């Protein structure tokens, strides 16, 4: 069995699209050594135990996806809301590459989880470097510390970087809207902070930004799409589905239907171009069957885009028109992906600025502290 797992790990490493150094560091730390016996494969229902279904456990561990190792902060719940996981390997490799992690560096990770990413970082920085990882959940931190024995990684069961320490790179593996000042304070000037960011805490995606410390501010490009769990100190709480129970009013139709828009890769660019708007996807009854829609909400205003391009909504803000205008801009610019966008965040600003090289101007996202 162990031999099979090692072979599966080798195949996972070979599939990574990354640098030889990052591939070698992954090769040194088989994923199965970091995933616990109990995992949460489904959105509802019971957990899966390796001892009762080793085949399914192995398929999950050696899939290209994230593996949830804890739901609902370790407590019960109507759904298995992921609260700790092993991230998708390609996403990890891309974040490590974006942070420029190399020999001799001091690296801070926010969100130890299984400890797998920290182990890989420790190999990359080598004996002359150092890796510190902080994890808000003491139980998760304790298990990771055990798994990381012999790697030289220091794990702290806390919610913020250690006071006074400064690192060459910071990698956050939980998503934020407001970048904590303790994260930028932990970064040396010129260092890189890689983090999943979204303009509001209930966003459907959390694209990964690589931000350089430029003294008073941090700024840099988005490097890829992402869908990370939230920093536990910045969760959105329960928010109502926009427009639920309200009378649907027909609005101007869009040039694209919801299913096509979702498949176009433009949902995250739209999120970045629509300040103050919650944007998501969901299922609603459509022509007698469940249909995938794009929904928007801002205050009491809402809009739904349906599979056939029709738009319904209401409220004080013309969300359907805003969506149509942003989509028109994207289409005219050749549908630029998230890698064409960048983020600028000042230390004490109440808003973060998103820019895109395809357009003049910027979008200012208000962020409450």
Q: Which residues are catalytic?
A: 87
Closest distance to ligand SAM from the beta carbon of 244 (Å): 29
Asked if 84 is part of the footprint of ligand SAM (rule: CB under 6 A), the reply reads yes
What is the spatial distance between Cα 127 and Cα 102, in angstroms, rounded to a whole number?
A: 11
Q: What's the distance, CA 315 to chain centroid?
A: 31
Closest distance to ligand SAM from the beta carbon of 28 (Å): 14
Q: Determine the size of the site formed for ligand SAM (CB under 6 A).
A: 25
Q: Which long-range contacts (CB under 8 A, 24 or more apart) does 318-324 make?
A: 318/251, 319/277, 320/251, 320/252, 320/254, 320/296, 321/251, 321/252, 322/274, 322/277, 322/296, 323/254, 323/270, 323/274, 323/294, 323/296, 324/252, 324/254, 324/255
Asked if 122 is part of the footprint of ligand SAM (rule: CB under 6 A), the reply reads no
Asked if 22 is part of the footprint of ligand SAM (rule: CB under 6 A), the reply reads no
Residue whose CB is less far from ligand SAM, 116 or 327:
116
User: Which of 94, 137, 322, 344 lies at the binding interface for ligand SAM (CB under 6 A)?
Assistant: 137
Asked if 68 is part of the footprint of ligand SAM (rule: CB under 6 A), the reply reads no
Residue whose CB is less far from ligand SAM, 171 or 294:
171
User: Which of 23, 204, 232, 349 lies at the binding interface for ligand SAM (CB under 6 A)?
Assistant: 232
Closest distance to ligand SAM from the beta carbon of 134 (Å): 5
Asked if 87 is part of the footprint of ligand SAM (rule: CB under 6 A), the reply reads yes
Q: At what angle do helices 54-61 and 2-15 cross, to 10 degrees?
A: 20
| Other Cβ atoms within 10 Å of 238 Cβ, number | 6
What is the spatial distance between Cα 127 and Cα 255, in angstroms, rounded to a whole number?
A: 56
User: Which of 30, 111, 199, 201 lies at the binding interface for ligand SAM (CB under 6 A)?
Assistant: 111
Which tokens go with 15? 């599939």
Which tokens go with 5? 């797992």
Asked if 113 is part of the footprint of ligand SAM (rule: CB under 6 A), the reply reads yes
Which tokens go with 329? 């801009």
Using CB under 6 A, which of the segments 1-9, 81-89, 186-194, 268-276 binds ligand SAM? 81-89
Residues of this chain that bind ligand SAM (CB under 6 A): 83-87, 110-114, 116-117, 134-137, 140, 159, 173-174, 228-229, 231-233
């Amino acid at each position: 069995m162990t031999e099979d797992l090692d072979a599966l790990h080798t195949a996972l490493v070979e599939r990574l699209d990354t640098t030889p150094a990052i591939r070698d560091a992954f090769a040194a730390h088989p994923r199965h050594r970091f995933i616990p016996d109990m995992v949460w494969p489904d959105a509802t229902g019971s957990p899966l135990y390796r001892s009762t279904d080793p085949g399914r456990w192995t398929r999950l561990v050696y899939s290209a996806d994230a593996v949830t190792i804890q739901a609902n902060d370790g407590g019960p719940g109507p759904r298995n809301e992921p609260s700790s996981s092993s991230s998708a390997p390609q996403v990890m490799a891309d974040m490590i590459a974006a942070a420029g992690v190399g020999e001799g560096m001091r690296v801070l990770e926010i969100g130890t989880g299984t400890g797998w990413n920290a182990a890989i970082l420790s190999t990359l920085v080598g004996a002359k470097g150092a890796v510190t990882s902080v994890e808000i959940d003491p139980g998760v931190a304790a298990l990771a510390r055990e798994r990381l024995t012999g790697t030289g990684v220091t794990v702290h069961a806390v919610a913020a970087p250690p006071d006074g320490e400064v690192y060459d790179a910071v990698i956050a593996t939980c998503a934020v809207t407001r970048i904590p000042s303790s994260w930028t304070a932990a970064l040396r000037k010129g260092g890189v902070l890689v983090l999943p960011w979204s303009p509001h805490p209930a966003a459907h995606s959390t694209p990964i930004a690589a931000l350089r410390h430029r003294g008073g501010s941090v700024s840099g490009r988005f490097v890829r799409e992402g869908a990370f769990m939230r920093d536990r100190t910045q969760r959105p709480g329960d928010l109502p589905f926009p427009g639920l129970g309200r009378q649907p009013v027909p609005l101007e139709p869009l040039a694209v239907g919801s299913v096509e828009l979702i498949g176009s890769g433009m949902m995250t660019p739209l999120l970045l171009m629509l300040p103050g708007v919650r944007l998501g996807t969901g299922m609603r009854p459509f022509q007698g069957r469940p249909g995938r829609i794009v929904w928007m909400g801002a205050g009491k205003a809402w809009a739904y885009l349906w599979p056939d391009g029709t738009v319904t909504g209401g409220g004080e803000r013309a969300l359907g028109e805003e969506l149509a205008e942003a989509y028109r801009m994207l289409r005219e610019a050749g549908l630029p992906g998230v890698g064409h966008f960048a983020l600028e965040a000042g230390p004490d600003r109440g808003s973060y600025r998103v820019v895109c090289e395809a357009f003049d101007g910027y979008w200012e996202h208000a962020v409450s502290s």
